[in-house]
Amino acid sequence: MAGHESRPVLQFAPFQSSVDEGFWHRLSSLKLNKLGIDDSPIPITGFYAPSAHPQVSNYLTLLAESLPTEPCQQSSVATVIRGNRNRNRCSAPGILYNTNTLEAFHAIDKQSLLKAEAKKAEEDSAILSRFLLISFADLKKWSFHYWFAFPALVLDPPATLLDLRPASQYFSIQEAESVSAACDDWRNSSSTAEAKEYESVVDVPFFLLSITSNSYATVRHLKDWEACQHGEQKLLFGFYDPCHLPNNPGWPLRNLLAFICSRWKLEKVHFFCYRENRGFADLRFSLVGEALMSVPQGWEDPQHIPSAVGWELNRGKKVPRCISLAKSMDPTRLAISAADLNLKLMRWRALPSLDLNVLSSTKCLLLGAGTLGCQVARMLMAWGVRKITLVDSGKVSMSNPLRQSLYTLDDCLNGGDFKASAAVKSLKRIFPAVEAEAVVMAIPMPGHPVPSHEEKGVLEDCRRLNDLIESHDAVFLLTDTRESRWLPTVLCSHTNKIAVTAALGFDSFLVMRHGAGPGPINDVHDSEAKAVDSLRAAMGKSSLMDRDGGKRLGCYFCSDVVAPVDSTSNRTLDQQCTVTRPGLAPIASALAVELLIGILHHPQRICAKAEFSNSTDIERTEQPLGILPHQVRGSLAQFSQMTLVGHSSDSCTACCCTAINQPTYLEDLTGLTELMKSASSFEVDWDDGIDNDDDFLEI
């Protein structure tokens, strides 16, 4: 006994970890897109290889592929390892505990967790190199707190070392040649036709090395130990040794000795620390040793949980590590991740049905890049819309930057940049990944006479506007005048495109979605005459009913009793400019974008009926984002807001017909002239007396 105590204790070189950036990116994606607040353990796979350099140990490495494809994927250890087999690395099964808060990360009972995992290694040789990883991912700062553990059972009393020498000094020349050949064949077997023979061996980095009396070496599975007891042969317990030290075996030997002690109750064990040089067995570098052990008390009790060690040290201290990837990431990639963070967090609890793919693929056309256009563009980006086209023919003036959030003083210099172009540049500065496009173009307007020499240009603008609307999914009407909204309304109605209008008064606003049109408009032909004829023919097919037979929701012009005319000529300065309270545009813009998001997530999309918060069937129809109204009208003077509905009109100047140059053409064609005549012929007998304040007629 005294001799046993005088022998040196067998000491093991600790495992070291290394995490590739791809692992953290993959974990972040998994957390945001699939896991949410689910903090269930996740099976992962680490990789290491036998040490291949006399001065460098190999680390256990985590790669992007270390994480499963699906968070709920529960594979057996053998399946995980076999699926990641590679001749140049060994797979190690692991488990990831990713917490939702930093406090939960620090509160984990690390010692209990370590013991429970180490106990499993005593029962199954396939997971002797099992590891643990606890982590917390701070996705706002792109920092990751983590701590590795390589659970190992503690032998008490500890194993003592009887002998340790280079393998080249232990084996004879013939044995060394045979061992090298057997190990090389085993390492290559996963990529050869002989894979089946070694399949159960390559999957697990622990093996038996048997050498017969005639110096013939073979590699066997640990389970063959009992079958190898018959006959005269050397038996060594081998393992992949990631350590490079000449006087210490690597960490995997700890659990291998504990497994041998628990399973076969051996007191003396010969072990083989397999190491390589340039991918081939190197017996000068590999080690062979002999250890003396005794079975610790209590291990025969199935309920007994032995002591365990294995938490990785950080610069010699038992503290977790922290890594920040913010500085090393590409700024554009970091901007994309940060931009989507709020939306992905919505899906965790508040809005699981939020469809980010629909939002990112929706193409939005913004007609007008002024106060409303700037606000709407930014709101769309905040909702994850990545494809935005801005149309405007104006230039940035000195009065714009204070009210129009995408412009600065530099955009006003030298006569001013075009608003559409300046807005696109600003959007890309804010978010480099946005697919923004500028179109400098004036929108043809009814009531504005067109000289004969400009007719071709106006018709070309009509075609161009039609092409833009057909190539986009949603259109925002954000221009300053009523008449500039008319042609886009016509085209949206007859191509069934989502159209949202936002209009401002001094202290009031209107935000509305247009109803679905009766069908697609005809293609525009090359001939100018055919273009106009086909457009008018399409207007004649308009219907007041939607495709389900219900009454169609109206457009911006359906409630008007006058046609759109020139509203800019003969106007004073305050009438020419959009004079509004500064807080009005952000409110209206936000509501306009929220309407679009509601439409995109409604099962009936553009055909959705108008909904009200006080409707009797609201509980049945309300969607996760809330109700989907037709119109929202608000007043800052009263700090009030109301939702209204207006159905399509058979006298609407936009839904029924078209005209550009003649101010009264639309009224005559749709019957509004006759309607106004009949209204003027209606006489009311007024009582001029004021005897009773309660006697009045309300119309």
462 class by beta-carbon count within 10 Å (0-12 exposed, 13-18 middle, 19+ buried) = buried
Nearest-Å Rg of the Cα atoms of the chain is 39
143 membership: H or E segment, kind and range: strand 143-153
- Catalytic residue positions? 577
- Taking a C-beta distance cutoff of 8 angstroms, is the pair 424, 407 a contact? no
Instruction: Name the burial class of residue 429, with classes exposed (0-12), middle (13-18) and buried (19+) by CB atoms within 10 angstroms of its CB.
Output: exposed
Report the C-alpha gap between 232 and 229 in whole angstroms: 8
What DSSP letter does each residue of 100-128 carry, written as one string? SSHHHHHHS-HHHHHHHHHHHHHH-GGGT
Supply φ then ψ for residue 414, to 5 degrees: 55, 45
Instruction: Report which secondary-structure segment, H or E, holds 281.
Output: strand 280-281
**Tokens matching residue 31:** 């957390």
Chain centre distance of CA 455: 49
Q: How many whole angstroms separate alpha carbon 17 and alpha carbon 131?
A: 10
Residues in the chain: 699
Quote the crossing angle between the two packed helices 528-540 and 486-495, to the nearest 10°.
70
Helix (H) or strand (E) holding 633: strand 631-635
> What H or E segment, with its residue span, contains residue 364?
strand 363-367
**Coil/strand/helix, residue 251:** coil
CB 122 within 8 A of CB 141: no
CB atoms closer than 10 angstroms to residue 677:
9
Judged by DSSP in three states, 489 sits in helix
3-class secondary-structure state, position 38:
coil
For 146-201, the DSSP string reads EEEEEEEEPPSSPPEEEEEEEHHHHS-HHHHHHHHHHHHHHHHGGGSTTHHHHHHH
Nearest in space to 474 (alpha carbons), one of 559, 382, 361? 361
Compute how many other C-beta atoms are within 10 angstroms of the C-beta atom of residue 454: 11
Q: What is the dihedral of CA 401, 407, 412, 418, to 10 degrees?
A: -130
Task: Show the tokens assigned to 597.
Answer: 């998001």
Burial label for 500, CB within 10 Å (0-12, 13-18, 19+), is: buried
CB 630 within 8 A of CB 553: yes
For residue 686 the two structure tokens come to 């007024």
E strands present in 21-89:
42-48, 60-62
Give the three-state DSSP class for 255: helix
d(CA 473, CA 176): 73
Nearest CA to 469 out of 456, 441, 488, 482 is that of 488
CB 599 within 8 A of CB 605: yes
